[in-house]
Amino acid sequence: MIDLAVILENAKPLVRETGVWIQSMVDNIGESDIQYKGTNDLVSFVDQTAETRLKAGLSAVFPEAGFVAEESASDYSEVGDGYYWVIDPLDGTTNFLHRLPIYAVSVGLIYQKQPILGLIYEPNRDELFYAAKGHGAYLNERTIQVSQQAFMSKSLLATGFPYYDFSYQDRYLSLLKELMRTSHGLRRMGAAAIDLAYMACGRFEGFFEANLKPWDVAAGKIIIEEAGGRVTNFSGGDAVIFEGEIIGAGPIFDEFLGTLQGKWFVD
């Protein structure tokens, strides 16, 4: 039986140190350092070096786990039911490359394709969010919980915009119109890990996004759940990490999900 608390304590300094290193590089990136993996999908040597550092350190922390990592995972369809570190070395790369201070390191540990541990470090505010299954959720050693707001009309929501797959753009815009009318507003931070972390500590009441990857959501899902929130796919099911869609909230969850489904699942 593995000790998640010990693994978490050993992973915390590694994730923080990686984020501090990323922060030190923000003014050392030029146009020539930027590569394109696809439409609006940017990467730099900072992402790649950060991932290498994380994989080396996490291998020492828990060598039994495999890896699903953004910059080196060409295919994750064969991921089994064992332990895997799921890594986004720099979530919010576009923000980082534009020197917009909203980006983070995200590291999750999954077992049987469900997250059991997660860490998200935002270096600009020196905020480390983390959780392990059954151990609660924390921000810099302080216990956190999701917002207890019970009305969506009084809620601030977060999302991410389509940036390379525009096949669902019309229903997405229809949903945005509805949410604009029925909430305090919507925010698009440009880093799903930060959206999820901010929801876990009550800054947002809810978050949804489609077309995400496992490394975008693995850490955030367990942090939200340990903070008392609910996280599902758009159909309300538990399969989130490899489904490419996520919705999370506290007390407003049922109303939020119902609103989404009413606009998303249309003929």
Residue 40, number of CB atoms within 10 A of its CB: 10
Which CATH number fits the domain 4-143, given the four candidates 3.50.50.60, 3.40.50.300, 3.30.465.10, 3.30.540.10? Answer: 3.30.540.10
Task: Render pLDDT for 210-241 as a digit per residue (tens, 0 to 9).
Answer: 989 999 999 999 999 999 999 999 999 999 99
- Residue 249 has a pLDDT of 98
Fold of 152-264: D-Maltodextrin-Binding Protein; domain 2 (3.40.190)
Q: Are 223 and 131 in contact (CB under 8 A)?
A: yes
For the CA atoms of 98, 27, 51, 222, the dihedral, rounded to the nearest 10 degrees, stands at -60
Task: Render pLDDT for 107-128 as a digit per residue (tens, 0 to 9).
Answer: 999 999 999 999 999 999 999 9
- Residue 169 has a pLDDT of 81
User: What is the residue-wise DSSP string for 232-263?
Assistant: E-TTS-S--TTTSEEEEESTTHHHHHHHHHHH
- Residue 74 has a pLDDT of 57
Task: Locate the domains of the chain by residue range.
Answer: 4-143, 152-264
Of 267, 266, 265, 220, nearest to 247 by C-alpha is: 220
What span, in angstroms and rounded, lies between the C-alpha atoms of 46 and 29?
Answer: 8
Task: Render pLDDT for 14-63 as a digit per residue (tens, 0 to 9).
Answer: 999 999 999 998 887 766 556 655 443 445 788 889 999 999 999 999 99
What span, in angstroms and rounded, lies between the C-alpha atoms of 23 and 252?
Answer: 35
What span, in angstroms and rounded, lies between the C-alpha atoms of 133 and 5?
Answer: 9
Task: Render pLDDT for 174-213 as a digit per residue (tens, 0 to 9).
Answer: 999 999 999 999 999 999 999 999 999 999 999 999 989 9
Would you say the CATH fold of 152-264 matches that of 4-143?
Answer: no
